[in-house]
Amino acid sequence: MNVQPVVYRKRRVRRGRGFSREELKALNLTLKKALRLGIPIDPRRRSRHEENIEALRRLLEAKLKGAEPPKGKEAEET
């Protein structure tokens, strides 16, 4: 599951490089844990968008439930 944050710039909306620290903090997620889970982080961003927090919440629920297919040797065996 791949999720991209949204960044608002002047009159346009674009995909961001990663989630801001404020967005991680809203879900009580540390930087280390986010990196371990494979969540992209953009240390330059300071904004906090509710849209990104909801997307991150859905991503966390999916990852913690184990919704992702196995990778590597485990995938070959099944």
pLDDT digits (tens, 9 = 90+) for 15-55: 888 999 999 999 999 999 999 988 999 999 998 999 999 99
Number of domains in the chain: 1
- Per-residue burial over 41-67, b if 16 or more Cβ lie within 10 Å, else e, is bbeebeeebeebbebbeebbeeeeeee
User: Does 32 reside within a domain?
Assistant: yes
pLDDT tier for residue 71 given thresholds of 50, 70 and 90: low
In a domain? residue 51: yes
58 occurs within a structural domain? yes
Q: Which residue has 């992209």 as its token pair?
A: 40
Contact (CB, 8 A) for 67 and 60? no
Report if residue 12 sits inside a domain: yes
Tokens for 10? 């002047």
Is residue 1 domain-resident?
no
Distances (CA, A) of 47 to 22, 41, 43, 61: 7, 13, 11, 23
- The structure's pTM equals 0.70
Q: Please say if the pLDDT value at position 77 is more than 80.
A: no
Domain membership of residue 73 as a residue range: 6-77
